[in-house]
Structure 1
Amino acid sequence: MTWSGLLLVITTLLPSGPADDAGGTTWRWPLRPAPEVLRPYDPPAHPWEPGHRGVDLAARPGQAVYAAGPGRVGYARDLAGRGVVTVIHGGLRTTYLPVRATVRPGRAVTAGTRIGVVEGALGHCGQVACLHWGLRRGLSYLDPLILVGRAPVRLLPWWDDDPERRVIHSPYDIYH
């Protein structure tokens, strides 16, 4: 593989963050201004094991929460005593909690549409309020920071000859 081929692989795997990606979607932080990440994405080695399947963002109770990208609200109500909002973005789904929803399921949203406010319930982040922001593609959890260009960069192998060998077990296969 040439360096130009490697550069093509890298640029197709990385989202462009707040700017338009190849699909024309503008992704944004769910809080304003861009928050501190209190706890990073830390997926388990196996789906049944414990892990942190999203990121925790510094927030204050009552702070506005915004859709990270355009889509349709899939869920907006309490789940196990905490408010949860889920937005479906085609094959991706973002989740926000604990959030008191100001939207209803089925509503179309754009990147930056206010979807609720951070609830004051403590617990997930200990004695500090936070917003848990998750991202899934199908049944696979991904690092939501990939949407805003803040996920760690990782080079991946590239196979041109055998489609069966193109299976990549990484959050970065989101753009394949």
Structure 2
Amino acid sequence: MTLLPAGPVRPAPCTGPSGSGTSAHVTAAGSAAQGTTRSAVWVCGALVLLLWPLLVGWPAPASGASPGWAWPVSPRPAVERRFEAPAKRWLPGHRGVDLHAPPGTPVRAPQAGVVSFSGMVVDREVLTVDHGEGHLSSFEPVTAVVHRGERVARGQVVATVADPGHGPGGSAVHWGVREDGEYVNPVQFVADLRPSVLLPLPGGG
């Protein structure tokens, strides 16, 4: 007669040649799962970066404008006052940017176009260049070196900053851009204003 052992019957551990049981298999499975998780996180991060403009509705750096706009003052100037869109068209705001540029600094066309206006407005000289596709750049106060109706190339000197210049210190030029009749932030045509998105590094670094 065969006697059965008392208590529940426990299966023998699955051991390999070294007798270490299933620990080697568990470790390998865990490493594989961790690698898969890291890869998934990296892929998700890349998709977020690619889809971010669509998810938040962020405009392109130069919405509707011809590519290749350049800063009108060289080298790249400091922005003494930023663009401040008014809540309503008739309310106060800052419809452009003030670029640091002492009197006498050359002002260049940020994009090719045709001079549509050059003359005095109240007590200062204003120059406007029509870039086409509904985009116009205006500069003040300046002393123009081009005339109305003249075609200008991107980067061509079109004026110099008047003396005194714009702003409290008289050391800036005001640059305004209209898009289909509405004032927009000029910086969006020369710099990428979209927010940065940090991606996880492959391997979890």
TM-score where L is the length of structure 1: 0.74
For 2:106, the equivalent position in structure 1 comes to 64
Q: Distance in 2 between matches of 1:116 and 1:108?
A: 14
Give the alignment of 1:130-149 within 5 angstroms.
Answer: 130-149=172-191
Where does the alignment leave 5 or more consecutive residues of structure 2 unmatched?
Answer: 1-46, 197-205
Shift of the alpha carbon at 1:11? 10
1:14–1:149: 8 Å Cα contact kept in structure 2?
no
2:65–2:189: 8 Å Cα contact kept in structure 1?
no
Give the alignment of 1:76-115 within 5 angstroms.
Answer: 76-90=118-132, 91-115=134-158
2:58–2:194: 8 Å Cα contact kept in structure 1?
no
Larger gyration radius, structure 1 or structure 2: 2
The C-alpha deviation readout for 1:78-126, integer Å capped at 9, x for no partner, is 211111110111110011111100000111111101101000125x411
Query: Which structure shows the higher helix fraction?
Result: 2
Q: Distance in 2 between matches of 1:80 and 1:22?
A: 32
Aligned residue pairs, count? 148
Where does the alignment leave 5 or more consecutive residues of structure 1 unmatched?
Answer: 155-176
SS of match in other structure, 2:187: helix
Q: Distance in 1 between matches of 2:195 and 2:178?
A: 19
RMSD: 2.7
Q: Distance in 2 between matches of 1:23 and 1:127?
A: 32
Percent identical pairs in the alignment equals 34
* Residue 6 (1) aligns with residue 48 (2): no
